[in-house]
Amino acid sequence: MEKLHYERLQETLYHEVMDNGLQVYVLPKPAFLKTYATFTTKYGSVDNHFKVAGSEETTVPDGIAHFLEHKMFEEPEGDIFATFASNGASANAFTSFDQTVYLFSATENIEQNLSTLVDFVQRPYFTDENVEKEKGIIGQEINMYADNPDWRVYFGLIEAMYATHPVHIDIAGTIESIATITKETLYTCYNSFYHPSNMLLFVVGGVDPEQVFELIRSNQQGKSYEKQGEITRIFAEEPEQVASKHVESRLAVSIPKMMFGFKEKVDGLSGEAAVRRDLTTKLMLDLLFGSSTALYQKLYDEELISDSFGHEFNSSAEYAFSAIGGDTKDPGLLLERIKAEVGRILETGFAEKDFERARKKKIGGFLRMLNSPESIAHEFTRYQFRGGDLFEVLPLYESITLDEVNARLHDHVNWEQLAVSLVVSP
Amino acid sequence: MTNNAFQHGHAAGMRIHVLPTKAFKTFAISLYAGVPLEESTVTSTALVPFVLRRGTASYPETTQFRERLEELYGAGFGFDIYKRGDYQIVQFRMDTINDSFVQSKESLLGESFAFLGEVLTRPLLENGSFRASYVATERETIRKKLESIVNDKIRYAAERCIEEMCRNEPYRLHPLGQRADLDAITPETLYQSYTSWLNGATLDLYVVGDTTPEEVEKLVTAHFGRAHHSEAGGYTSDFTPVSVTEVRTVEEKLDVNQGKLNMGLRTSITYKDDRYASALMYNGILGGYPHSKLFVNVREKESLAYYASSRYDGHKGIGTIQSGIETQNYGKAVDIIRKQLDELKAGNITDLELSQTKAMIRNLLSEIQDSAFEMISFDFNRQLSGKDRSAQELMDQVDGMGTAEVKAAADTFELDTIYFLTGKEE
């Protein structure tokens, strides 16, 4: 058991790698009654073409990672939700571009609930019948998102940017793509990506670390796993430029929704360099578009943006893009105004005092995040899968310089790389 | 749970509730201002906090106002406006870093109180009234917010169902008010509304963090003392149950992919009722969780929906059911849902359903103590309802429930309204 103490954060993290390769982290929060645990595989919607050393290269239907997530909850003896409920645990799961996360939160029967979590994810049970049944449920989930303008405008932007990279494929797939999913394809994906060496268990809350490790050790020793070969994810070459500069979809909305963003060149960054790039970019976007900026206020007073206006930066080793926007009565005018104002900032760069203030805000936001066991578990796992360390974010923020942020501004804001997505009323 | 009790006091015309704890990295502050929900004041009351967040005497420009929050290490500041029973509540929230984690020259708790006190009692005034441009822009902001409710079909359907069900009560009103009233509001009338709102509202101020009641009272007296002389007599809960004579069905057509089926139920059991625990159990067994009758029968058995759940609002004495379905499955879904309501009335509840639901409610109530704002919210329910019942007492009551009590609760829940949002014919 490895012990990592972060003095400034007043947090101590415990870590151990199981013999089969499973990474286990425990963050005790003695003042907390509840325990929150996530069991995550580094496998998401983008992993649709892959090869595991010793097996054949495989392409699988769109939406299968998410479908698999749904199907994991079914056991020969019924729904695993019932087992969690009997032990007072609230369980859930979600699938993103590059992860599938299974989780529970509970205040009692922690050891039992931890065993349930690890066991159900390590015990696939797919039948022709239960796979067919799920298609109706996921079909309704897809329809629900189809009616959601925020999701449509966001995904429209990614579709506009990416021609071949599967990040542009909706996480749930389509009614047509999931129709082709069978129990065999599910097992193929399961066997490729749910090996313990591709997974991470994070436990945070009122727990004793040694007890957790002991429980997981004996749980894992009771299961036999062959050593797994390396997973190679195969991505077709993605053009540097955006696939389409402008996309539009139609949905009954009271006011148009617009998102725009810049597609970056693939740089293959990982580890601390990737984390630093991400933090610097987020600082930069906040200095450009944050709600305390003169630009934001001007656009708000011109009634071109509303409280819904926001920004984010999304990146992996194979893609990186910003997504900026919200509701606007005049997408064309808003974009024109932004181009003009951002153009001016590109000439001057950011001011030192604004940079210092934005940095303080980010540091405060990071510390506030540490009140939430859910956020800690999700963020820690995300950082870990990229080779970074969530608990080193504070010194990283402190070491970022104004020059770096200004350089990032010029790097990122490249009008040639701009894509725009709109949702407007039919 | 007993060690986590708020200490109650009074200062500057407000009720003060302080919970000293070192469990969190922040100070959580909430200020609740409640007034009766009335057609004549609902819109102006909603507009007040929107204008207050634009500027104060010391920070007249919105950019200055927001920069100040960033200087306080990105102190979280926000407000919500909602209905609780027949009251309209404005809740201001601040979440500020505990100074011990950063090198701050100022006391962040003290500065947060200074800020919040100023927002509430020293708004920016020009010629004795609010700045006209702020009032004009925020009027548009509310108008757009009201118009955009329809963009989120799940939320829209839920609100429409309540609006139809409560069409003869103040509860039909949206907490943000009515669009038609906006145009008549001027800076002068709004300033009058603000003064009478502040003097008439019941004010409850909460702090959770590493502080003491003495420190908080001192800060409140220093920063809130200028304008507030409350004439409010606190909350009264004279609840008259509404009896259902027949089930009313409302269908609405919009351009949607998925139909949204919502139902509204009436019950005589409210928060302050001694039978409250039985209503919680009723809702939990019906549709509060993934092991509940609605999820199991509508989703898992019939694959009709992705979501199918119920909620219980003890402040208003209503229950709601929501699901998203294929429009042609309307009849089938209604039958299945009504069957579940009948099952509960007939007392067809298994021991497993009872024990699972108890465990889930126990977990929910225990988890409250791990979130500062959840603790605040729970205590505020006690202030609002006048019912002094701790989470522990509620938990004990839930634990003691048997089939007979839940069946008795089911007898008080009557289906009142079925609302269906369906697609337009091609």
Are the Cβ atoms of A144 and B144 closer than 8 angstroms?
no
The length of chain A, given as a count of residues: 426
Are the Cβ atoms of B74 and A297 closer than 8 angstroms?
no
**Helices (runs of H) and strands (runs of E) counted in chain A:** 15, 17
Are the Cβ atoms of B300 and A364 closer than 8 angstroms?
no
Residues in chain B within 8 Å Cβ distance of A9: 101
Supply the pLDDT for residue B229. 61
The answer to whether the CB of A135 falls within 8 A of the CB of A71 is no
Residues in chain B within 8 Å Cβ distance of A85: 289-291, 356-357, 359-360
Supply the pLDDT for residue A266. 84
Q: Mean pLDDT of all residues in chain B?
A: 94
Are the Cβ atoms of A367 and B291 closer than 8 angstroms?
no
**Taking a contact as any Cβ pair under 8 Å apart, which residues of chain A between 323 and 382 contact chain B?**
327, 357-358, 360-365, 367-368, 370-371, 373
Residues in chain A within 8 Å Cβ distance of B21: 31
Are the Cβ atoms of B258 and A146 closer than 8 angstroms?
yes
pLDDT exceeds 80 at position A291: yes
- The CA radius of gyration of chain A, in Å to the nearest whole number, is 23
The distance in angstroms from the start CA to the end CA of chain A is 59
Nearest CA in chain B to A138: B306
Contacting residues for B149 by C-beta, under 8 A, at least 6 apart: B155, B156, B159, B174
Supply the pLDDT for residue B104. 80
Handedness of CA A377, A383, A386, A392 (dihedral sign): negative
Instruction: Count Cβ–Cβ pairs < 8 Å, chain A vs chain B.
Output: 186
Are the Cβ atoms of B73 and A370 closer than 8 angstroms?
no
CB of A254 within 8 Å of a chain B CB? The answer is yes
Supply the pLDDT for residue B424. 83
Instruction: Tell me the shortest Cα–Cα distance from A103 to chain B, in angstroms.
Output: 14
Supply the pLDDT for residue B105. 83
Catalytic residue list contains A240: no
Instruction: Tell me the shortest Cα–Cα distance from B231 to chain A, in angstroms.
Output: 33
Supply the pLDDT for residue B226. 56
Q: Rounded to the nearest 5°, which phi and psi values hold at B279?
A: -70, -35
Q: For residue B82, what are the CA distances in angstroms to B38, B85, B87? A: 13, 10, 8
Partner residue facing B75 (CB), from A9, A149, A364: A364
Top residue of A35, A145, A368, A393 to mutate, by most chain B CBs within 10 Å, is A368
pLDDT digits (tens, 9 = 90+) for B222-255: 999 855 566 567 898 778 888 898 999 999 999 9
Top residue of A134, A144, A366, A372 to mutate, by most chain B CBs within 10 Å, is A144
Among candidates B192, B199, B233, which has minimal Cα distance to B47? B192
Supply the pLDDT for residue B238. 74
Supply the pLDDT for residue B234. 84
CB of A123 within 8 Å of a chain B CB? The answer is no
Instruction: Tell me the shortest Cα–Cα distance from A313 to chain B, in angstroms.
Output: 19
pLDDT exceeds 80 at position A87: yes
Residues in chain B within 8 Å Cβ distance of A306: 141, 144-145
**How is residue B90 written in tokens?**
């404005």
Q: How far apart are CA A256 and CA A244, in angstroms?
A: 19
Instruction: Tell me the shortest Cα–Cα distance from B150 to chain A, in angstroms.
Output: 7
CB of A91 within 8 Å of a chain B CB? The answer is yes
Partner residue facing A149 (CB), from B25, B151, B366: B151
Q: Point out the catalytic residue in the list A2, A11, A57, A69.
A: A69
Please tell me which residue, B426 or A27, carries the higher pLDDT value.
A27
Supply the pLDDT for residue B2. 40
Q: For residue B248, what are the CA distances in angstroms to A81, B336, B347? A: 34, 18, 25
pTM for this entry:
0.94
The conformation of residue A303, written as its DSSP 8-state character, comes to T
CB of A294 within 8 Å of a chain B CB? The answer is yes
Average of per-residue pLDDT across B201-212:
96
pLDDT exceeds 90 at position A424: yes
Identify the H or E element spanning B318.
Answer: strand B318-325
Top residue of B256, B367, B392, B424 to mutate, by most chain A CBs within 10 Å, is B367
pLDDT exceeds 80 at position B426: no
Nearest CA in chain A to B27: A368
Residue B373 — pLDDT band, cuts 50, 70, 90? very high
Q: How far apart are CA A181 and CA A252, in angstroms?
A: 32
pLDDT digits (tens, 9 = 90+) for B85-143: 999 999 999 999 998 888 888 899 999 999 999 999 999 999 999 999 999 999 999 99
pLDDT digits (tens, 9 = 90+) for B30-85: 999 999 999 999 999 999 999 999 999 999 999 999 999 999 999 999 999 999 99
The answer to whether the CB of B116 falls within 8 A of the CB of B94 is yes
Supply the pLDDT for residue B4. 67
Are the Cβ atoms of A370 and B25 closer than 8 angstroms?
yes
- The CA radius of gyration of chain B, in Å to the nearest whole number, is 23
Top residue of A36, A80, A94, A140 to mutate, by most chain B CBs within 10 Å, is A140
HEC assignment per residue over A210-278: HHHHHHHHHHHHCCCCCCCCCEEECCCCCCCCCCCCEEEEECCCCCCEEEEEEECCCCCCCHHHHHHHH
Average of per-residue pLDDT across B416-425:
92
**Taking a contact as any Cβ pair under 8 Å apart, which residues of chain A between 26 and 65 contact chain B?**
31-34
